[in-house]
Amino acid sequence: MNQNFILPNPWSIIVDHFNKAEVPATESLFSLGNGAMGQRANFEEKYSGESLQGSYIGGIYYPDKTRVGWWKNGYPEYFAKVLNAPNWIGIGIKINNQILDLNTCKIDAYYQELNMKEGWLMRTFMATLSNGSQIQVEAKRFLSLKFNEIGAIKYSLSPLNFDGIIEMAPYIDAGIVNKDANYDEYFWEILDIKSENNIALILSKTLKTNFHVCTAMANEFTLNGQAITLKPKLASKTKKIKFIYKQKLEKNQTLSIIKYATYVQSMNHQSDALCQTAISNLDKARKIGFEALLAYQKQDWAAIWETADIKIEGDVKAQQAIRFNIFQLNQTYLGEDARLNIGPKGFTGEKYGGSTYWDTEAYCIPFYMATKDKHVAKNLLLYRYNHLEKAIENATKLGFSNGAALYPMVTMNGEECHNEWEITFEEIHRNGAIVYGIYNYVNYTGDFEYIPKFGLEVMIGVARFWHQRTNFSKEKNQYVILGVTGPNEYENNVNNNFYTNYLAKWCINFTLETIENLKSSYPSDLDRVLSKTQLNQEELAQMLEVAQNIYLPYSKDYEVFLQQDAFLDKEIVPTEFLPKSQRPINQYWSWDRILRSCYIKQADVLQGVYLFENAFSKDQIRKHFDFYEPLTVHESSLSPCIHAILAAKINRIDKAYEMYLRTSRLDLDDYNHEVAEGCHITSMAGTWMAIVQGFGGMRTHNNALSFNPQIPKQWESYAFNINYRGCVLRVHKTHSGCVFTNKSTQALKIIVDGSILVIEPKGLVKV
Ligand code: BGC
């Protein structure tokens, strides 16, 4: 398949041709979402070719059975998956009784656009059916940001060379399955399927988890732009309901259907009020109308872009890519509901089950903090705070005690639901990311109060886990952490992964320092938390002993921290000697061969260098980068962004640019040959970081915002906005300098290349 089929455009994702082989990939890339629900860009009309049908509702999941041959104590019972929800986009089309199916007809012209500026998806095509009828179709749809339970489609069809009967049959199909489901189970139970006043409704509930959802649709028609009333015939089966409308059209007339649809679900409404709420949502949508809803959509996206946009001049592909990343992140999570989170595939596919990973804390929080109000990132932290008890239960199941908390690798509701032992039991570094997220939030927003009110309990639970997970090695005379998987999942069950050990040490130290600090700043909250957690001096002293004496593997020869104790036993051969035909290695090599190789899936030691940059001199950063990057295959989407930031830090701007393109166009250019499964949403936040923290060099330390801007030679300029503690700052970098504009009404102090600058309210400074 041609991996370069998206047309470059600053604000839109466009394809101008139809290629069956590209359909699954475009379904992912052109996905729509509004934070509460999302859907792949499946076609409205029937498509019999290869396709992954997908509509998802935020928070609605199913605990699918864990499928493993050899059960081990502590395995989670289930693997959570966001369920494929009833499909409401479908509109069956028949032309003189022949079904319209792009897989079987001749496509004379085709154009598909995802307009990121305004938040809608459009397809137009001209097609000839086997009966010789040629038609022109335009289909536009969006998921409303303003009314996040509502979506709308306008589907217009014109006969080009005939007069004939056009049938449009909008439907809701609840007979959907998840492609990756175990045992081919069906996860929904239909409770009611009915029509009332030309509204069709399906009330369904998920098995086991009991989420209730009402999916409903209402339809309107125009003929050549004038409203007309068509009488439908109802066709209802056990899991599918449709209205069939027929209209005779003359050549060049246009029949349009406007289909309004809604999902109303029991996380937000009483179960017995769902159908009524669905009906009033549709009444509201019809009253407002398609065009006015679309106008709101444009306004709401304009408001998002106002702060979140990054403008790049002189490199349209880079421009398109960063907007695509920012757009998809905003489609996935808008931060108003602390029960929701950001699955690695968002609403664009089934893989990763729609669940929450450490990606949120390590990658997404910086993006949301800087492009939205701080309550958005706070909601992400509260999500974990609300799961603390489950994290303690999870650790208890594995044999830890006394309130030690192990956050899950993968979760929907706080319970672990990842079922590979080398990840579930061993990839424990995720626990540190949860605390790092708290540190990062407080450090950036200045909202220190979050810690005494909420964060400290989480920090204590995690610090206890690290304390208990270490053991004293007589041989090394230090504390060690055995049997782990670091971020590099291409090595399992290793001892003393530098990143994990360092993070453990840091988590304990941060917790202990914070407790000291709270003694004077928030004494009553501290008392409350200490008494709730029963943390005493003895335990604190033991934790300190561990943190001060944790072992960190180091090579004197290479002057780098080692990824794990035995890393240098491996045959070290840089990736440049790997034949292209064998990459990505995870698609060509046996797992056994991968595990024994020196190849690194994603930043591991370098992830630590990135997070704790201040603990390393620039020379040390360079040495670590030069040792590890040549061994890294970047087969996790989370990898190139960290390398881009570090490369910029050590002034390797060409390398940073190469890594930037790789992270930002990972999906658009399908670097890892897998975009058909869905987009890599969480790593998109890393793309944003690659510009702001990489090229812009933005950091926050000790209540100061600093920059060290650089620009790749391929770009004329770039500009981004940062929301920092109530001020919006615009940074505009060109080859001749950098302009910092303070858009707020209070003065802002920043540090640029080491010098302190104060920017007056509404003022600017050129450097
Ligand atoms: C990465 C993990 C990541 C997960 C979800 C995996 O391929 O190795 O670090 O959390 O994908 O993005």
Site to probe by mutation for ligand 1, drawn from 489, 586, 671, 683 as the one with most ligand atoms within 8 Å of Cβ, is 489
Which tokens go with 456? 């400290």
Site to probe by mutation for ligand 1, drawn from 359, 423, 666, 677 as the one with most ligand atoms within 8 Å of Cβ, is 359
- Is 44 among the domain residues? yes
Beta strand spans in 272-358 (E): 310-313
Closest CA to 632 of 658, 664, 598: 598
Give the position, in ligand 1's atom list, of the atom nearest the Cα of 601: 8
Give the position, in ligand 1's atom list, of the atom nearest the Cα of 487: 9
Residue 80's pLDDT is: 85
Question: Domain range holding 181?
Answer: 31-306
Which tokens go with 373? 């109000």
Give the position, in ligand 1's atom list, of the atom nearest the Cα of 357: 10
Peptide bond into 584 cis (omega under 30): yes
Residue 595's pLDDT is: 97
Pick 605 or 82 by higher pLDDT: 605
Q: Whose CA is nearest to atom 1 of ligand 1?
A: 636
CA 283–ligand 1 middle distance (angstroms): 42
Query: What does the angle CA 595 – CA 601 – CA 606 come to, to the nearest 5 degrees?
Result: 115
CA 694–ligand 1 middle distance (angstroms): 21
Query: What does the angle CA 332 – CA 337 – CA 342 come to, to the nearest 5 degrees?
Result: 30
Cα separation, 124 vs 144, whole angstroms: 21
Q: Is the pLDDT of residue 649 over 80?
A: yes
Q: Which of 167, 220, 415, 489 is catalytic?
A: 489
Residue 413's pLDDT is: 93
- Is 350 among the domain residues? no
Q: Is the pLDDT of residue 286 over 90?
A: yes
Q: Would you say 514 and 451 are in contact if contact means Cβ atoms under 8 Å apart? A: yes
Burial of 553 (0-12, 13-18, 19+ CB in 10 A): buried
CA 312–ligand 1 middle distance (angstroms): 29
Give the position, in ligand 1's atom list, of the atom nearest the Cα of 680: 12
* Single residue among 274, 291, 306 that ends a domain in this structure: 306
Which tokens go with 664? 């930002």
Cα separation, 704 vs 215, whole angstroms: 49
CA 39–ligand 1 middle distance (angstroms): 22
CA 426–ligand 1 middle distance (angstroms): 14
Q: Is the pLDDT of residue 59 over 70?
A: yes
- Is 476 among the domain residues? no
Give the position, in ligand 1's atom list, of the atom nearest the Cα of 352: 5
Give the position, in ligand 1's atom list, of the atom nearest the Cα of 635: 7
Q: Would you say 701 and 614 are in contact if contact means Cβ atoms under 8 Å apart? A: yes
Residue 3's pLDDT is: 67
CA 600–ligand 1 middle distance (angstroms): 13
Tokens 């450490």 correspond to what residue? 358
Confidence of residue 387 (pLDDT cuts 50, 70, 90): very high
- Asked which of 55-64, 91-100, 553-562 is least confident by mean pLDDT, the reply is 55-64
Catalytic site residue 545? no
Which tokens go with 68? 């493993």
CATH code of the domain in which 199 resides? 2.70.98.40
Q: Whose CA is nearest to atom 9 of ligand 1?
A: 487
Confidence of residue 65 (pLDDT cuts 50, 70, 90): confident
* Single residue among 255, 279, 306 that ends a domain in this structure: 306
CA 380–ligand 1 middle distance (angstroms): 18
- Is 549 among the domain residues? no
109-125 burial: b if 16+ Cβ within 10 Å, else e: ebbbbbbbebbbbbbeb
- Is 208 among the domain residues? yes
Residue 73's pLDDT is: 81
Residue 302's pLDDT is: 98
Residue 419's pLDDT is: 81
Give the position, in ligand 1's atom list, of the atom nearest the Cα of 358: 10
CA 663–ligand 1 middle distance (angstroms): 14
* Single residue among 306, 339, 370 that ends a domain in this structure: 306
Q: Is the pLDDT of residue 2 over 70?
A: no
Confidence of residue 177 (pLDDT cuts 50, 70, 90): confident
CA 639–ligand 1 middle distance (angstroms): 10
Confidence of residue 672 (pLDDT cuts 50, 70, 90): confident
Site to probe by mutation for ligand 1, drawn from 357, 586, 599 as the one with most ligand atoms within 8 Å of Cβ, is 357
- At 104-143, the pLDDT tens digits run 999 999 999 999 999 999 999 999 999 999 999 999 999 9
Residue 231's pLDDT is: 95
CATH code of the domain in which 737 resides? 2.60.420.10
Q: Whose CA is nearest to atom 12 of ligand 1?
A: 344
Q: Which residues line ligand 1 (CB under 6 A)?
A: 344, 352, 357-359, 487, 489, 601-602, 636, 638, 682
Residue 183's pLDDT is: 63
Confidence of residue 12 (pLDDT cuts 50, 70, 90): very high
Pick 73 or 578 by higher pLDDT: 578
Q: Whose CA is nearest to atom 5 of ligand 1?
A: 344
Q: Is the pLDDT of residue 268 over 60?
A: yes
- Is 19 among the domain residues? no
Q: Is the pLDDT of residue 288 over 90?
A: yes
- At 306-333, the pLDDT tens digits run 999 999 999 999 999 999 999 999 999 9
Whole-number mean pLDDT of the chain?
A: 96
- Is 743 among the domain residues? yes
- Asked which of 38-47, 368-377, 664-673 is least confident by mean pLDDT, the reply is 664-673
How, if at all, do strands 704-707 and 748-752 pair? Answer: parallel
- Is 152 among the domain residues? yes
Residue 354's pLDDT is: 77
- At 459-483, the pLDDT tens digits run 999 999 999 999 999 999 999 999 9
Rounded average pLDDT over 196-202: 94
Give the position, in ligand 1's atom list, of the atom nearest the Cα of 602: 8
Confidence of residue 14 (pLDDT cuts 50, 70, 90): very high
Cα separation, 57 vs 36, whole angstroms: 6
Q: How many domains does the chain have?
A: 2
Helix axes of 456-469 and 374-385: crossing angle, nearest 10 degrees: 50
Residue 453's pLDDT is: 98
Burial of 475 (0-12, 13-18, 19+ CB in 10 A): exposed
Cα separation, 559 vs 554, whole angstroms: 7
Give the position, in ligand 1's atom list, of the atom nearest the Cα of 359: 10
Q: Whose CA is nearest to atom 7 of ligand 1?
A: 636
- At 709-727, the pLDDT tens digits run 999 999 999 999 999 999 9
- At 224-258, the pLDDT tens digits run 999 999 999 999 999 999 999 999 999 999 999 99
Confidence of residue 182 (pLDDT cuts 50, 70, 90): low
User: Which uninterrupted H or E stretch holds 660?
Assistant: helix 653-664
Cα separation, 354 vs 363, whole angstroms: 16
Confidence of residue 210 (pLDDT cuts 50, 70, 90): very high
Q: Whose CA is nearest to atom 6 of ligand 1?
A: 636
Residue 418's pLDDT is: 86
CA 636–ligand 1 middle distance (angstroms): 6
Closest CA to 59 of 29, 89, 79, 38: 38
Q: Whose CA is nearest to atom 11 of ligand 1?
A: 636
Give the position, in ligand 1's atom list, of the atom nearest the Cα of 636: 7
Q: Is the pLDDT of residue 693 over 90?
A: yes
Q: Is the pLDDT of residue 68 over 80?
A: no
Site to probe by mutation for ligand 1, drawn from 636, 642, 677, 682 as the one with most ligand atoms within 8 Å of Cβ, is 636
CA 567–ligand 1 middle distance (angstroms): 21
Q: Is the pLDDT of residue 76 over 70?
A: yes
Beta strand spans in 543-698 (E): 554-555, 560-561
CA 53–ligand 1 middle distance (angstroms): 24
Closest CA to 522 of 514, 532, 531: 514
Spatial CB neighbours of 682, under 8 Å, sequence gap ≥ 6: 342, 343, 344, 357, 359, 360, 363, 364, 637, 638
CA 390–ligand 1 middle distance (angstroms): 22
